[in-house]
Structure 1
């Protein structure tokens, strides 16, 4: 079993962050469910939500890409202190034997992190964000409201 969440909108100031987009993938080796939610224009709390499935092959490709690449990327220290990648986006990957999350559970507080990402690491992170966003856009079908 694994759970992957991409959140766009993790930096805030005096007011907490506004999440603009979420891609959530939950599954196992047999396949996965994917939910893609986008903040509706002129709203801070209302989302357009789509849901779909990923095949076994798509899941294996995704996991085999994410685990080694995320495993090489730093996370901010302390957790939730700073958006060290600069994309206002977090990725959380949780499975039995692998856990990785940047941006803290409640977003970033704009405090300084003692760990910083290199330009190459930022580029790798951006590629992973694009992969997850594309999966959400391609595999989720708009639900009837």
Structure 2
């Protein structure tokens, strides 16, 4: 399994350099949000998994949403949706810019450093970013901790993904 836990040199700019660069995401990207990443002895039980994919030369964002209703043991079947790239462009641009500046836990999956029981994975040519390990966060302590400002930015990133999924038809 390829570990997608690194940030590119482009994503590790200083704050002053980041302000000078464009925040526009690449033509192709994929991101996934999972609500429910903390576990312990047992693996986490996700309450929702959303995926958003923009492939080059595709007329719309491909979005899937799988949700676990309260009291049920598993996620529902992922329901495909779509959204025009123009409708979500500003939100995707904002998400891309936020993630470029946020830290990830170290070691991967050690701790939910944002405290929202939620993970986001972003994959594109210029940025690969993920918080929470492949099996969620199962205990331990991260050597990297998020500041209150970074926690607020991550909360905004989660709101953006939730909003895109709600807007999709």
Q: TM-score, normalised by structure 1?
A: 0.88
Please give the alpha-carbon distance, in whole angstroms, between the structure 1 residues aligned to 2:77 and 2:144. 35
Offset at 1:17?
0.1
Distance 1:46 1:68, change over 3 A: closer
Gaps of 5+ in 2: 1-27
Asked which structure has the greater CA Rg, the reply is 2
Rounded to whole Å, the distance in 2 between the matches of 1:74 and 1:27 is 24
Is 1:61 the counterpart of 2:105? The answer is no
- Taking only aligned residues, the RMSD between alpha carbons, in angstroms, comes to 1.6
Partners of 2:130 and 2:94 in 1: CA distance: 16
Alignment of 1:14 onto 2:37 = no
Match of 2:120 among 82, 88, 91: 91
Q: Is the 8 A contact 1:36 1:137 kept in 2?
A: no
Contact 2:37–2:132 (Cα < 8 Å) also in 1? yes
Q: What secondary structure is seen at the aligned counterpart in 2 of 1:47?
A: coil
What is the CA-CA distance between 1:40 and the residue it aligns to? 2.1
Aligned residue number for residue 24 of structure 1? 51
CA shift digits 1:87-142 (9 cap, x unpaired): 000000001221000011110111100000000100010011011112112214xx
Q: How many residues align?
A: 140
Partner of 1:131: 160
Counterpart CA distance in 2 for 1:139 and 1:68 is 22
1:4 maps to: 31
Q: How does 1:40-119 map to 2 (within 5 A)?
A: 40-47=69-76, 49-119=78-148
Q: Relative to total residues, which structure has the larger strand share, 1 or 2?
A: 1
Deviation at 1:59, TM superposition (A): 4.5
- 2:150, 2:100 → 1: CA distance? 11
Q: Structure 1 unaligned segments of length 5 or more: list them.
A: 141-145
